[in-house]
Amino acid sequence: MNSRKDYKELRKTFDQAADLYQQARPDYPEELFDDLIHVANLKPSDHLLEVGCATGKATLPLARRGFSITCVELGAALASVARRNLVGMDVEVIAGRFEDWRPEPGKGYDLVFAATAWNWVDPEVRYIKAWQVLRPGGHLAFWNAAHVFPDGGDPFFREIQSVYDEIGEGNSEGTPRPGELHEQREEIEKSGLFEVVHTRHFDWERIYHVDEYVKLLHTFSGHILMEEWKRDLLYNEIRVRLNRRPEKSVRRHWGAVLHVARRKD
């Protein structure tokens, strides 16, 4: 992202993919939630605040574990889908900007967490706001699902790069290996408001059939904002190449770094 304006515009794009998000985006590993609960010493009925719940990909696993969750989601369409997905759970979904949201007076949360959303919150505000709404001794946790490429990874991703280059959408940075995703420990500590108590890398794999993979791509801001001719050319080439495979699918590795930090009092 080139500027604050860029990310503020980009983060609005996900609402356009609300109907695809739940089915296309990956589920997070159950072990990640178990690790988070252990490190943050969470107990059933604790009050959690989620920043940017989207359709509830991370909300549902935690709600099923007995936590009371308030979600603040920027996109109205995403918030609407989340409410449907979380019916019957002790979850409240509020549509709005986390930066502007105000909790009930006197209410302090045991955990503030964000799943593939923290980097979309204003960096000048996010740590201050999280600190303000947490109870003394409460925790902040966040992680981002990202593409990682292991030894023996699916060669499709290297092969398709020539098409991205052809339409002017190539990625010069490359794809990190599992365990090499950027850790934000220094950023957290620099805020002066939190002490990092835990970081852990997770990686997992999911197989996408042709149409499933195209749907996944259409939940990414860069693909949503592509010029139509570029997107049509790219998706057509993806379909052609994957349909040539006997299994008509692609194997994609995901990675995430769980960060957990304790509020300084």
Residue-wise pLDDT tens digits, 213-227: 999 999 998 898 899
Q: What one-character DSSP code corresponds to residue 28?
A: P
pLDDT at 28 over 70: yes
Sign of CA dihedral 49, 22, 60, 84: positive
- The domain of 62 spans 4-149+175-205+252-263
CA distances (Å), 118 to each of 48, 140, 141, 249, in order?
15, 11, 9, 31
Question: What pLDDT, on a 0 to 100 scale, did the predictor assign at position 171?
Answer: 81
Q: Would 144 be classed as within a structural domain? A: yes
Average pLDDT, stretch 65-69?
97
The DSSP line for 180-220 is -SPP-HHHHHHTSSEEEEEEEEEEEEEEEEHHHHHHHHTTS
Q: Would 195 be classed as within a structural domain? A: yes
Question: What pLDDT, on a 0 to 100 scale, did the predictor assign at position 117?
Answer: 95
> What confidence tens digit (pLDDT) does each residue in 181-208 have?
999 999 999 999 999 999 999 999 999 9
What is the separation, in whole angstroms, between the first and last Cα of the chain? 33
Stated pTM of the model: 0.92
What's the total number of domains in the chain?
1
Q: Would 118 be classed as within a structural domain? A: yes
CATH of the domain at 122: 3.40.50.150
The DSSP line for 230-254 is HHHHHHHHHHHHHHTSSS-EEEEEE
Distance CA 109, CA 99 (A): 16
Average pLDDT, stretch 251-255?
97
Q: Would 160 be classed as within a structural domain? A: no
Question: What pLDDT, on a 0 to 100 scale, did the predictor assign at position 13?
Answer: 64
Residue type, 77: A
Q: Would 125 be classed as within a structural domain? A: yes
Average pLDDT, stretch 136-160?
96
- In this structure, the dihedral spanned by the alpha carbons of residues 7, 238, 78 and 125, taken in order and rounded to 10 degrees, is -20
Distance CA 17, CA 78 (A): 8
pLDDT at 58 over 50: yes
Find the helix or strand (DSSP H, E) in which 25 lies: none
Question: What pLDDT, on a 0 to 100 scale, did the predictor assign at position 16?
Answer: 62
Contact status, residue 187 vs residue 252, Cβ threshold 8 Å: no
Q: Would 235 be classed as within a structural domain? A: no
Q: Which residues 6+ apart lie within 8 Å of 188 measured at CB?
A: 127, 140, 194, 196, 259, 261
Q: Would 53 be classed as within a structural domain? A: yes
Q: Would 221 be classed as within a structural domain? A: no
Question: What pLDDT, on a 0 to 100 scale, did the predictor assign at position 1?
Answer: 35
